[in-house]
Amino acid sequence: MPAGTKLERGAPLPKTERPIVFYGTSILQGGCASRPGMAYPALVGRILDYPTINLGFSGNALSEPEMAELLAELDPAVYVYDSLPNLNPSQVRERTEPFLRTLRKAHPRTPIVLIENVIYTNSDFVESRRVSAAEKNSALLAIYKKLVAEGDKRLSYVKAPALLGDDGEATVDGTHPTDLGFRRMADTIAPAIRKWLKH
């Protein structure tokens, strides 16, 4: 190399892809991750090499119509809906379908990935948690099937069993994932998103 020449890392290329938008609870927010980069939306972003927006609201992902309208103002590559842990079964039945229809009306072609309520790792000992999660997941699945039957071909559905595993090692409190739990969630959810992305 000629004298005075320097080798330096080049500036990163600007990202031009529309982001993946995640909406959900303190789980999605990464409330008990060791650092922000270990929340599952961040992990998914790195797995897929895609920008992400994490709209996780601790205790407040209640699928209100106003929130649906705000999310509909965005222009994502994919929506990920992971709101069930903050809802009770009645709220899932009452709010989820209108929420999804608001997104679909604004974005007829944007894929939406629906995530079941995690199976809480203490469900074997707390029957009310097991029953509630099962009711919510059943309601979400019924909504998904209804929308697909109506012709919505841009929906994906992620079932709960693989999200945290069954060894009891994936949460700090039965609900909120450790880094291990987030890795399992990311590895399960990323393929459901990848199918919709164009690289």
Per-residue model confidence (pLDDT) at position 5 = 86
Q: What integer pLDDT is reported at residue 175 of this predicted model?
A: 92
Measured CA to CA in angstroms, residue 82 lies from 79, 115, 150 at distances of: 10, 5, 22
How far apart are alpha carbons 114 and 135 in whole angstroms? Answer: 15
> Has residue 15 got a pLDDT over 80?
no
- 55: buried, middle or exposed (CB in 10 Å: 19+, 13-18, 0-12)? buried
Q: Give 157's pLDDT tier (boundaries 50, 70, 90).
A: very high
Arch. (CATH architecture) of 20-194: 3-Layer(aba) Sandwich (3.40)
Q: Which two tokens stand for residue 156?
A: 């994906």
Q: What is the mean pLDDT of residues 18-33?
A: 96
Rounded mean pLDDT, 139-163: 98
Kindly tell me if the per-residue pLDDT of 199 is higher than 60. no
Q: What is the pLDDT of residue 123?
A: 86
Q: Is the pLDDT of residue 21 over 70?
A: yes
Secondary structure class of 23 (helix, strand, coil): strand
Starting from the edge strand earliest in sequence, which strands make up the sheet with 20-24, in order?
52-56, 20-24, 78-82, 112-115, 155-158
Domain boundaries, the chain: 20-194
Asked whether residue 86 carries a pLDDT value surpassing 70, the answer given is: yes
Q: Say if residues 146 and 97 touch (Cβ distance below 8 Å).
A: yes
Q: How confident is the model at residue 161 (pLDDT cuts 50, 70, 90)?
A: very high
**pLDDT value for 63:** 98
